[in-house]
């Protein structure tokens, strides 16, 4: 299962990730990304990767186990 990582110091709260995968990413009251899941099923990988790539500051990554 792919593992999600978020660099909370890089996040600027654009929320592009939330638009692409609202079941995986959220933005807290301080405008910082929150991972709703730390691991995703392989069948969701493409959609979640696209959402991560939409981050203009590259704060999100997906790693293989």
Predicted confidence (pLDDT) per residue in 35-54, tens digit = 999 999 999 999 999 999 99
pLDDT given for residue 32 in this prediction: 98
Q: Report whether pLDDT(9) > 90.
A: yes
pTM of the model: 0.92
pLDDT given at position 65 = 83
Tokens of 42: 């392989």
48: phi then psi, degrees, rounded to nearest 5: -70, -35
Structural domains of the chain ordered from first start: 3-63 (3.30.70.20)
According to the model, what pLDDT value does residue 17 have? 98
pLDDT score at 44: 96
Q: How far apart, in whole angstroms, are the C-alpha atoms of residue 57 and residue 8?
A: 11
Positive/negative CA dihedral, 43, 40, 12, 9: negative
Query: Cβ atoms within 10 A of the Cβ of 52, count?
Result: 23
């Amino acid at each position: 299962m792919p593992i999600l990582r978020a660099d909370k110091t890089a996040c600027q709260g654009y929320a592009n990730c939330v638009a692409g995968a609202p079941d995986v990413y959220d933005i807290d009251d301080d405008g910082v990304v929150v991972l709703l899941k730390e691991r995703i099923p392989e069948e969701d990988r493409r959609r979640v990767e696209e959402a991560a790539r939409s981050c203009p500051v590259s704060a999100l990554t997906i790693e293989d186990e």
